[in-house]
Chains A and B, each alone.
Chain A
Amino acid sequence: AQTVTQSQPEMSVQEAETVTLSCTYDTSESDYYLFWYKQPPSRQMILVIRQEAYKQQNATENRFSVNFQKAAKSFSLKISDSQLGDAAMYFCAYKRGPGDSNYQLIWGAGTKLIIKP
């Protein structure tokens, strides 16, 4: 069975600096998707970034980028120029795919990110 591990329960960073959140996963599949979701105090779950395993290029979304190491089964999230609004829980998630029968997201336990002003 697939598992997702986030080894950092909490991270803190100074505003405007860069922080990296770690995620590792275990799978025997070769084709899958990886996600980072953000959950602010409002509880709303928001997609930050997505990576398809067959793509070697690391995904980027503005200040957010990933370091996807398929052989090492590692998927870290880098947040550049950290802002106060980035403070949240960050969850890494895995999904088998493609295929219409592969619905389940497997979630890590989350990392709480604190931004220091």
Chain B
Amino acid sequence: NAGVTQTPKFQVLKTGQSMTLQCAQDMNHNSMYWYRQDPGMGLRLIYYSASEGTTDKGEVPNGYNVSRLNKREFSLRLESAAPSQTSVYFCASSTTGARGNEQFFGPGTRLTVL
């Protein structure tokens, strides 16, 4: 049981380049999330997907797009990377209902934009 997996683990981009961060979960969770973590700060929600076929903006969505490909997979795309997007990115998933308040996290992707 792998839980939440993310690829890649590390990435270096030049300003203006694009890339997609991949996330997959094998826990049959309905909801998935993308966060970024900056030094000295807690996690901030970028986008989330409450269920397959839906996506919504979080606290800091500008410069990002997401796709909920199916129930298992939720990708995050940077169309034109900027140095301000240098961060560690976490994907998470959760169930809904009474147990839907615990989020399970992937190992993170460290992204550097030069």
Contacts and interface: CB of A to CB of B under 8 A. Distances in A.
B71 interface: no
B43 A105 contact: yes
A50 B90 CA distance: 20
Nearest to B3: A44
Contacts, number: 58
Interface residues of A, number: 26
Contact of B101 (A46, A50, A109): A50
A109 B42 contact: yes
A104 B67 CA distance: 18
A44 B92 CA distance: 11
Interface in A44-71: 44-47, 50
B42 A103 contact: no
A110 B42 contact: yes
Contacts of A100: 50, 96-97, 100
A103 B31 contact: yes
B63 interface: no
Given A100-B96, A104-B58, A91 B107 contact: no
Interface of B: 31, 33, 40-45, 48, 50, 58-59, 88, 90, 92, 94, 96-98, 100-105, 107-108
